[in-house]
Every structure is written in C-alpha cells, then in structure tokens.
Amino acid sequence: MAVTHLLYLHGFRSSPRSTKAQKMAARVREHHPQVRWWCPQLPPSPSRAMELVTQGVSHWPHDAMAVVGSSLGGFYATCVAEATGCRAVLLNPAIDPARDLAKYTGEHTAWHEPNEHFVFEPRFVDELRSLECGPVRRPENYFAVIAKGDEVLDWREMTGRYPGAKIKLLEGSDHALSDFDSHVEEVFAFLNLA
C-alpha cells in the first residue's frame, strides 16, 4: 500500500530545519503534494517527545504511514515503527542513546538556532532507557542508511541492531550524511509514497 502520511524525526540538538529534514520536506512538497508531512520540533525530554509523536500520529492509518529518523530520531522512529507496524527509514540511528547521552547532561545550544538553549536533564537518560524496545519484529519494514565514517556512532552497533533489515552501508560519509543527496532516491523508493 502506498504511504500517505510521513513523519520525520530529527536528532539530538537538531530541528525541523536540519538539512535532511528540509530536503525531504521539499521533495515531498514537489513530488508527493498529497502526502501528509509532519516534522515536529522534539522536546528535550524523551518521554515528552514520544508522547508528542504518539499523539500526533494516533489518527494516522498505520498501514499507510511511514517514519524517517536521523540519529536520536532513528531511535524514536524504531519505537514508532514497532508500535504501529509501519515502515521506517533510519539514518545513522542511535542504538543506545541512554548510554551515549548520559555524558551530555546539562545545558546545550540548539544546532540551527545558537541563541536557543535547552537543558538535557539527568532524568532524561532514564526516560531513554524506559523507551528501549527489544529486537525488531518485522525487519522487512526497515531500511537503514549507515555510514562507516560516522564520527559519533559505531556502524557495527547500528548494523547489528537491525538484522534482516535492508541496510545501505556506506564506506565513508559522516554522522550528518553530508552525501544524503546520493541516497535520497533509494529512501523514497523504499518509502513508496502516494
């Protein structure tokens, strides 16, 4: 079934203004104007972020929706896909954000808005831990673009998290997937938008 509703989830310190989110939004507008696109600004609290997302897609048709997630957004996207059974595209997804972000508690600036500050509280690490969902139940619903050149996350952990999924393993690239334009066709082919 063609996808009529598409959710994009950005990473830690990121926003709907990220390069990948903007490129995805522009392409959806241009080639799939009938598709419902939603890329919310996620709050720093993981439980609040997932509440926002869960509420936002609660009336979406699960068999005609998909989610794309980058980095921490990839972790959230996995939660959404496991809860709804929808397809998911993961861009260098965070595998154990509770472990990885524990050392980043404190105040941060927003990546795309340096004047905006937020606090990543110690309790948010526990919230991340509580969101962890076990092995993926339907690996055929996942497509992961993973860069061996990711300077933030380990590509071995990322590929190991999604056995049986479609994985595009890049020899180089980086955490931001600066070469995203080279992969966007495959991403959209997998999404199968209406």
pLDDT of 116 reads 80
Look up the pTM and report it.
Answer: 0.96
Q: What are phi and psi of 19, to 5 degrees?
A: -60, -45
Chain length of the chain: 194
**Residue 135 CA: distances (Å) to CA of 8, 116, 168, 177:** 22, 36, 19, 25
Q: Which two tokens stand for residue 88?
A: 């998911």
Q: Which two tokens stand for residue 2?
A: 């063609």
DSSP, res 3: B
How do residues 69-78 score in pLDDT, each as one tens digit?
999 999 999 9
Positions of the chain with pLDDT lower than 50, given as ranges: none
pLDDT of 168 reads 98
Domain boundaries, the chain: 5-191
Q: Which two tokens stand for residue 44?
A: 């720093």
Query: Residue 135 burial by CB count (10 A; 0-12/13-18/19+): exposed, middle or buried?
Result: exposed
Q: Which fold has domain 5-191?
A: Rossmann fold (3.40.50)
